[in-house]
Copies of this chain bind each other. A is one copy, B any other.
Amino acid sequence: MIVSVKTLVLLKRLSKYIKNYVNKKRTTIKDIANSLNISAAAVSKAMHDDPRISAKTKEAVKRVAKELNYQPNHLASALRKGKSNLVGVIVPKTNSNFFSSVVQNMEEVLNKSGYNIIITQSNESFKKECDSIDTLLYTQVDGIIASMANETIDLSHYEKIKSKGIPLILFDRGENDLNVDYVGIDDYNSSHIIINHLVSKGCKRIAHIGGFRRTRIFNNRMRGYIDALKKHQLPLDESLIIESNLTIKDGRTKTHALLELDPIPDAIYVAGDYAALGALQVIQEKGLKIPNDIKLVGFGNEPFTSLVHPTITSIDQNSQEIGKLAAETFLSRIENPTVKQTLNKIIFDAKLIVRESSE
Contacts and interface: CB of A to CB of B under 8 A. Distances in A.
Nearest to A116: B135
**How many monomers of this chain does the complex have?**
2
A303 to B, nearest CB: 8
A118 B121 contact: no
Contact of A163 (B69, B95, B123, B140): B69
A48 interface: no
A78 interface: yes
Interface in A147-166: 163-165
Contacts of A26: 164
Interface residues of A, number: 52
Interface in A98-128: 99-101, 103-104, 107, 111, 116-121, 123
A36 B291 CA distance: 72
A139 B78 CA distance: 10
A324 B308 CA distance: 33
A247 to B, nearest CB: 11
Most buried by B among A79, A86, A96, A137: A79
Interface of A: 22-24, 26, 69, 71-76, 78-79, 84, 86, 93-97, 99-101, 103-104, 107, 111, 116-121, 123, 131, 135, 137-140, 163-165, 248, 277, 281, 284, 304, 307-309, 338
A164 to B, nearest CB: 7
Contacts of A277: 307
Nearest to A119: B119
A94 B103 contact: yes
B100 A165 contact: no
A172 to B, nearest CB: 15
Q: Which 9 pairs across A and B sit closest by C-beta, in order of nearness? A: A95-B100, A94-B94, A75-B79, A119-B119, A74-B138, A116-B135, A118-B118, A94-B100, A75-B75
A153 to B, nearest CB: 22
A78 B135 CA distance: 14
* Residue of A116, A121, A281 with most chain B CB atoms under a 10 A cut-off: A116
